[in-house]
Amino acid sequence: MSIYQPPADWFKAPKGGERVWIGLALTWCMVMSVAMPYWHFYGKQNSTGESYRVTPAEYAQRVGKFIQTNKVGEMNGMPVVEPAPGGDAYLQAQMWLWMPILKLRKGQTYRLHISSLDLQHGFSLLPMNMNFQVLPGYDHVLTLTPTSSGEFSIVCNEFCGIGHHMMTGRIIVED
């Protein structure tokens, strides 16, 4: 019984059903352990954590330059920017804006840089439901290929103060 001393000879290998279950469970754990490295090499969705140190000021500068060279329009006063396919795209998180609006092409691959100028934020792409953490001081690079077209929303899903729920943005993907 579990509240009294165990019998003196408790150090015994399991038998019967218990043994079968341990075998099954261990096998399943092994399968799951192999799945992640497998997906890393053969799957299309991975979070590799590629990132570089950057100060918020430096990052704001890069974003500014990116907007200047690639701006194609405006929406609600927010610049709409179309990066070259295969090139770098920049997204800036700050209380409580995602800047700029990105215009991408379906099937093209971009190096999407995301960083924050102030607090931590959460990049959440809807309705895709893809989520990545955004930290100040870290340039988080996602090598991203949109596989569907349309207008997508970005919301913030890391608490960033009282205006957190108003922090939305857009990614537009054209065929």
The binding track of 62-101 with respect to other proteins, each residue x by CB under 8 A or -, is -------------xx-x------------------x----
Q: Within 66-125, which residues bind Cu ion (CB under 5 A)?
A: 121
Q: How far apart are CA 164 and CA 95, in angstroms?
A: 7
Asked if 144 and 132 count as a contact pair (C-beta separation under 8 A), the reply is no
Q: Which stretch binds other proteins (CB under 8 A): 57-65, 66-74, 86-94, 151-159?
A: 151-159
- Closest by alpha carbon to 75, among 150, 163, 170, 153? 170
By CB under 8 A, residue 169 contacts other proteins: yes
β-pairing verdict for 110-116 and 88-94: parallel
Please identify, using beta-carbon distances, which residue of 69 and 73 lies nearer to other proteins.
73
Binds 121: which of Cu ion, other proteins, none (CB < 5-8 Å by kind): Cu ion
Q: How far apart are CA 134 and CA 71, in angstroms?
A: 23
CA distances to 6, 7, 11, 39 from 88, rounded to whole Å, are 64, 67, 61, 25
What is the smallest separation between the CB atom of 77 and Cu ion, expressed in angstroms? 19
Q: Which stretch binds other proteins (CB under 8 A): 43-51, 59-67, 81-89?
A: 43-51
Q: Within 106-145, which residues bind other proteins (CB under 8 A)?
A: 109, 118-120, 122, 124-140, 142-145
Three-class SS of residue 39?
A: helix
By CB under 8 A, residue 6 contacts other proteins: yes
Q: Within 10-29, which residues bind other proteins (CB under 8 A)?
A: 10-18, 20-22, 24-26, 28-29
What secondary structure letter does DSSP report for 5?
P
